[in-house]
């Protein structure tokens, strides 16, 4: 198991990439409900349910 202190966080300029957290669920659900986003995912334009 990886503790949050062990997880890699990458920063390049103003861009920060970190592991997904449970607090990200609402934002991800909104993104994955957009057919323009999901058309590039294996679901091929079908919304991914929460």
pLDDT tens digits in sequence order for the chain, 50 residues long: 555 566 789 999 999 999 999 999 999 999 989 988 889 888 888 888 88
Whether residue 15 lies inside any domain: the answer is no
Q: What is the pLDDT of residue 4?
A: 55
Whether residue 50 lies inside any domain: the answer is yes
Domain span including residue 30 = 21-50
Whether residue 38 lies inside any domain: the answer is yes
Its pTM stands at 0.58
Per the structure, how many domains does the chain have?
1
DSSP-derived 3-state class of residue 23: helix
Cβ(25)–Cβ(33) below 8 Å: no
Q: Is 32 left (phi over 0), alpha (psi -120 to 50) or beta?
A: alpha
Whether residue 25 lies inside any domain: the answer is yes
Q: In this structure, is the dihedral angle defined by the CA atoms of residues 17, 19, 22 and 25, taken in order, positive or negative?
A: positive
Cβ(16)–Cβ(10) below 8 Å: yes
């Amino acid at each position: 198991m990886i503790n949050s202190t062990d997880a890699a966080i990458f920063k390049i300029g103003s861009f920060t990439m970190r592991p997904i957290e449970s607090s990200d669920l609402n934002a991800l659900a909104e993104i994955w409900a957009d057919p323009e986003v999901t058309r590039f995912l294996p679901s091929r334009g079908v919304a991914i349910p929460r």
